[in-house]
Chains A and B, each alone.
Chain A
């Protein structure tokens, strides 16, 4: 341990008066930043959710005026309350962008990562607190820019979250704003990921060897590497698209394009597929960025509520590492139908099949962790448990997409939409809910209501499946995605058209099912049951700090004595043996000088 800080630390908490702005707004404290990230992320999730509700309404009742709100949105979007296709495309592109880049990742990485990770490794803060603040504000700016893009002439970006050129290059000015917003968001992610990696490597307390890290820390650590190395290519691509739009270059524009009868004035020579390569070079790792923190949360909650160690901790760690590595060389499975030859498609199909194996290993380990447990079904656990089969459905339906021949039929249909929503919505979002219920007491000192929690969980589970299961049926029938009218004019969509209403009503049901959560979230701030530092009787180091943790987190620098999940150790009085507690059976002072003691994992 750094000798110099042990003294400054244990003395006292030197209370510099920071004032309101420095404490709550421009704070450098990882916990405040984490909460800022989480609240902003949740707000954007809510916003993305609202966009989706508009889309879903349109899909179920195409061409009909919107009740109530229809007229409010203005003639450029809904003349007479009837949605324009341009506006539908804006909603789609922005729903995807906001959910991925402004909702889930900021909540999962910025929120949970920032708040929990330093606590779990016993650190006083992140390695670079000011960089951390810069990262949040860059994200915030990116969010503001994206939000404002709805109000520029021509509206927000409308070329899909994938922004494929040439469509995106010839699109209205909203696309330029989208690109600028992305540059802010990418900057934020890069700053954040450097910070996370350094924090994990450098600030682990004594005794916390890599194989003793909680799985959540592993998942964030690996996620940070994905962000660090995969985002820059998209940044480069965003610059190039900006150049194409602003400086009239033709990185992505071949010669001889004719748009609405007019020859496009560009020098030509560019390749539209270059964008797709660079985009998916990020976006495939990005989908693991969406899932890994979720897996981390689920692992923590499952270990805690089965009251036993995770089964196969080591194989989970190795799988995550392998998965991260592989995720850099599968991206072109999104591009099978862009005219790829046999050799390259065989390569990308093979890597895609290979990458599914570590996911199977992880999900298996989590499932088998339940075996022999003494399972408590509290709200975080319910969400974590539901995550497993939901991720299972999402992951399994990824397999046919990974086979190029099957992808011929399934590509760009609702099957794909169903595939990834199962992983991100009842998957990741459920895991994030689990995390919120689980760490809320740490952040606020109060528990959320179990009753409202269950009232949130069961309807959510039902409606999520009501939305996304029919998508597979529509997809198999061949219904394309991104259809403004849900496919009413197509003959092949006819037999499955009625499902649109089922899905839309489920989506509105899902919205209502979130009310208990919102009420619970705010009500518990004042009314929740007060708890001590370790309400779940958990073993990882964050539960040593008071709830909520003060500035600097720990009164004394903790030491990690053992592996993270020592629950139900035979021969002990209580069923949990925290990482930060010295050995109970041995009297006398602990022996911290043994960081390499063999980790006991199954």
Chain B
């Protein structure tokens, strides 16, 4: 039922979150409809014209205790069996660094800086004091050789389908929130903290747009969900999920561009 409204499912764990929300909404619906039917019945049955004198003692049954107990039990189940383990998997079961694609994402007013470690798998050093809004938004330190093969983009996140992504999320200025609705990931970027976000994309961008009809044209997007200033509404990033081969190709292309541009315009 909820499927009608939710965005497409495009990550490995999205289905489970949807399931939790589905169960919860069933519980809510049952309760609400049950209560509403009773409500309607009482209003009609006990209206003044039908029931001119009230009954001092009122309802004698205490069946409601059972209903309340049942609500409590249902909540406990949803909590213990679904929500806590699911949430725990999000924050604790991080994928190993060998298998995962690691990306640093540094939010700023109002853009997402994406930073790949490159072939060596090591992020080059960065330092806030080196930041230059024009030329060096990440504050990369050119003297660190580990950074030489690092690939950076602004607002363009490229991922590989079926391979876990491990994002190191941080921010340069205020709190932002990193959200890809179709992946069911959302995480605040808090100044001073470096927070992991991980998921496994299961749909490529091509699959996504092929599945969509009509006017819905866009692919995956990064949405900022935390008020971060006047440009909050337009702090949008783009996510491209490639097939394995395409991703390799894209990465190679980037490395290529890096080595050519480095010669004529090295900004360190």
Direct contact of A and B (CB under 8 A): yes
Interface string of B109-125 (1 = CB under 8 A from A): 10000000000000000
Of A260, A338, A480, the most chain B CB neighbours within 10 A belong to: A480
Given A311-B59, A370-B43, A389-B35: A405 in contact with B86 (beta carbons within 8 A): yes
CB within 8 Å of A: which B166-182 residues:
172-175, 177, 179, 181-182
Give A346 to B186 CA distance when docked, in angstroms: 18
Q: Does B87 contact A (CB under 8 A)?
A: yes
B182 contact set on A, CB distance < 8 A: 492
Bound together, the chains give a CA A360 to CA B218 distance in angstroms of 42
CA distance A263 to B21 in the complex (A): 42
Give min CB distance, B64 to chain A, whole Å: 5
A253 and B172 alpha carbons, distance in the complex (Å): 12
Please give me the 8 A-B residue pairs with the lowest Cβ-Cβ distance, nearest first.
Answer: A491-B218, A261-B133, A254-B192, A478-B181, A372-B55, A405-B86, A476-B5, A256-B128
B191 touches A254 (CB 8 A): yes
> Are A164 and B227 in contact, with the CB atoms below 8 A?
yes
Cβ contact of A346, chosen from B68, B84, B223, B225, cutoff 8 A = B84
- Considering the complex, give the chain A residue whose CB is closest to the CB of B82: A405
User: Which of B78, B129, B185 is within 8 Å of A408, CB to CB?
Assistant: B185
Nearest-CB distance from A599 to chain B (Å)? 14
Instruction: State in angstroms the CA–CA spacing of A385 and B190 once bound together.
Output: 43
Residues of B within 8 A of A385 (CB): 43
Asked if A349 is at the interface (CB within 8 A of a chain B CB), the reply is yes
The answer to the question of B187 belonging to the interface, with a C-beta cut-off of 8 Å to chain A, is yes
CB contact between B46 and one of A371, A393, A602 (< 8 Å): that residue: A371
A361 / chain B contacts, CB cutoff of 8 Å: 68
A153 close to chain B: CB less than 8 A:
no
Given A392-B31, A602-B58; 14 other pairs, CB 8 A cutoff? A85-B231, A256-B128, A257-B172, A339-B187, A339-B193, A364-B67, A388-B39, A406-B24, A410-B21, A483-B232, A490-B223, A492-B181, A494-B215, A494-B217
* Bound Cα distance A85, B109 (Å): 14
Residues of B in contact (CB 8 Å), total: 97
Contacts of A490 in B (CB 8 A): 218, 221, 223, 236
The reply to whether B51 and A373 contact each other, CB–CB distance below 8 Å, is: yes
CA distance A342 to B174 in the complex (A): 25
Contact A339 B188 (CB under 8 A): yes
User: Which residues of chain A (399-417) have a CB below 8 Å from chain B?
Assistant: 399-400, 403-406, 408-413
Within 8 A of B (CB), among A373-405: 373-377, 385, 388-389, 392-393, 396-397, 399-400, 403-405
Q: Is the CB of B46 within 8 A of A372?
A: yes
A/B interface sample: 24 pairs, CB < 8 A: A89-B230, A253-B191, A254-B191, A256-B128, A306-B46, A307-B53, A308-B56, A342-B84, A346-B88, A357-B72, A357-B75, A369-B58, A371-B59, A400-B25, A405-B86, A405-B90, A406-B17, A409-B6, A480-B179, A480-B224, A491-B218, A492-B221, A492-B223, A602-B58
Is there a chain B Cβ closer than 8 Å to A160's Cβ? yes
Q: A166-B175, A309-B58, A491-B218 are in contact. Are A257 and B223 (CB under 8 A)?
A: no
A372 B218 Cβ-Cβ under 8 A: no
CA distance A477 to B173 in the complex (A): 28
Chain A residues, Cβ within 8 Å of B188: 337-339
* A158 lies within 8 A of chain B by Cβ: yes
Given contacts A370-B42, A375-B47, A403-B78, contact A408 B186 (CB under 8 A): yes
- Please state if A371 and B42 are interface contacts (CB–CB under 8 Å): yes
Is A477 a contact partner of B128 (Cβ separation < 8 A)? Answer: no
List residues of chain B with CB within 8 A of the CB of A477: 5-7, 181
Residues on A close to B: CB < 8 A?
A: 84-86, 89, 92, 158-160, 164, 166-167, 170, 253-261, 263, 271-273, 306-309, 311, 336-342, 345-346, 349-350, 353, 356-357, 360-361, 364, 367-377, 385, 388-389, 392-393, 396-397, 399-400, 403-406, 408-413, 472-473, 476-478, 480-485, 487, 489-492, 494-496, 567-570, 575, 602
Give Cα distance in the complex from A93 to B226, angstroms. 13
Please give, as numbers and ranges, the residues of chain A lying within 8 Å of B216 by CB-CB distance.
Answer: 491, 494-495
Complex contact B68–A308 (CB within 8 A): no
Partner of B54, one of A160, A349, A494, A567: A567
- Whether B24 and A373, one on each chain, are in contact in the complex, defined by CB atoms closer than 8 angstroms, is no
Contact A406 B68 (CB under 8 A): no
Q: Are A367 and B38 also in contact (CB < 8 A) when A342-B87, A375-B48, A403-B78 are?
A: yes
A570/B228 in contact, CB under 8 A? no
Q: Are B21 and A409 in contact, CB atoms less than 8 angstroms apart?
A: yes
Let me know if A375 and B232 touch, CB within 8 A: no
Contact of A406 with B54 at beta-carbon distance under 8 Å, contacts A85-B233, A371-B59, A389-B39 already known:
no
Known: A85-B231, A260-B109, A376-B48. A368 touches B84 (CB 8 A): no
Q: Which residues of A lie under 8 Å from residue B206 when comparing CB positions?
A: none
> Contact partner of A412 among B75, B133, B177, B233, CB < 8 A?
B177
- Nearest residue (CB) in B for A167 is B174
Q: Which of B2, B90, B179 contacts A476 (CB 8 A)?
A: B2
B residues in contact with A357, CB < 8 Å: 68, 71-72, 75
- Name the one of A258, A367, A481, A492 contacting B128, with C-beta atoms under 8 angstroms: A258
From A159, A375, A404, name the one whose CB has the most chain B CB atoms within 10 angstroms.
A375
Q: Is the CB of B187 within 8 A of A372?
A: no
**Which residues of B, 34-88, contact A by the 8 Å Cβ criterion?**
35-36, 38-39, 42-43, 46-48, 51-59, 64, 67-68, 71-72, 75-76, 78-79, 82-84, 86-88
Q: Are B56 and A567 in contact (CB under 8 A)?
A: yes
Once the chains bind, are A489 and B234 in contact (CB under 8 Å)? yes
Which of A159, A166, A496 lies at the interface centre, i.e. has the most chain B CB atoms within 10 A of its CB? A166
Query: For residue A485, which residues in chain B have a CB less than 8 angstroms away from its CB?
Result: 233-234
B257 at the interface (CB under 8 A from A): no
